[in-house]
Amino acid sequence: MPSRAMTEKINDALNDAYLYGILDAGYVAEADMESVAEAMLRGGVGVLQLRAKGYEECAVLDLLKNKLPGLLPLCRKYGVPLIINDFPEVAAAVGADGVHIGQDDGSLAQVREIVGDAMIVGRSTHSPTQALKALDEGFDYIGFGPLFPTPTKKGRPGIGLKNIADIQARVGSQIPMFCIGGIKPDNLELVLASGARRVVIVSALLQAPDITEATRSVLAHFTS
């Protein structure tokens, strides 16, 4: 069990986060994951997720326990919550700070039975209705997207920018709401002007020639 002080610190970190980074196995080889994580952390991501789509649960556990033993300590060093995509049991087993689940991954209550009350639990939402429902259910944060079609999550249409301001006001004022999907340096200003206050960026950071620099330059849009 994490201490109450640690839980509070991690929740504060989530609330303070503008940029949520994802260590995505679709873009990063396992051997490079810790160094890529450090590059994003050095650049200032406020939350870091491990996403390994297509992996079995035991493979994600093996990845965290045996191949990336330094990942959680690295996140702790930077005071950044480590969130595990899709697998509550793995998040609980490795003592991660949170778990992120999709629309088809059951209810918050089912996840809480596995991870307890202290862990951060986030939900992907793809419409205003889903976003409002996630708030109502009690999720700690939401992703809202994909704003634009993206190769990182193939086969989903973009939901566009038109509902961001309304959902930011109704949901994002209560819990962190991270806009996601196809966000790049060249459309970030448009996304922010549409009402987004926080974003998740995957490929545009992971494919940047200098990940730390790319992370910093995204964050500069939030602080200037």
Per CB under 6 A, 28 contacts ligand 3NM:
no
- If the CB atoms of residues 126 and 198 are measured against ligand 3NM, the closer one turns out to be 126
Per CB under 6 A, 111 contacts ligand 3NM:
no
> Interface mask (CB under 6 A) for ligand 3NM, residues 175-204, using x and -?
-----xxxx-----------------xxxx
Identity of residue 224: S
Structure tokens at 196: 């987004």
Choices 8-16, 145-153, 186-194, 210-218 (CB under 6 A): range interacting with ligand 3NM? 145-153
Which residue bears the tokens 């873009």?
27
Catalytic (active site) residue 124:
yes
- If the CB atoms of residues 13 and 19 are measured against ligand 3NM, the closer one turns out to be 19
User: In angstroms, what is the minimal distance from the CB of 63 to ligand 3NM?
Assistant: 17
The residues facing 144 across adjacent strands are 125, 179
Residue from the set 10, 150, 164, 214 that interacts with ligand 3NM by CB under 6 A: 150
Instruction: Judge whether 41 and 75 are in contact, CB under 8 Å.
Output: yes
DSSP letters spanning 62-131: HIIIII-TTHHHHHHHHT--EEEES-HHHHHHHT-SEEEE-TTS--HHHHHHHH-SSSEEEEEE-SHHHH
Task: Give dist(CA 26, CA 52) in Å, integer.
Answer: 7
Among the listed residues 67, 112, 133, 153, the single catalytic one is 153
Q: Which of these, 201, 211, 135, 215, lies nearest to 168 by C-alpha position? A: 135
User: In angstroms, what is the minimal distance from the CB of 136 to ligand 3NM?
Assistant: 19
Per CB under 6 A, 168 contacts ligand 3NM:
no
Per CB under 6 A, 153 contacts ligand 3NM:
yes
Report the catalytic residues: 51, 124, 153
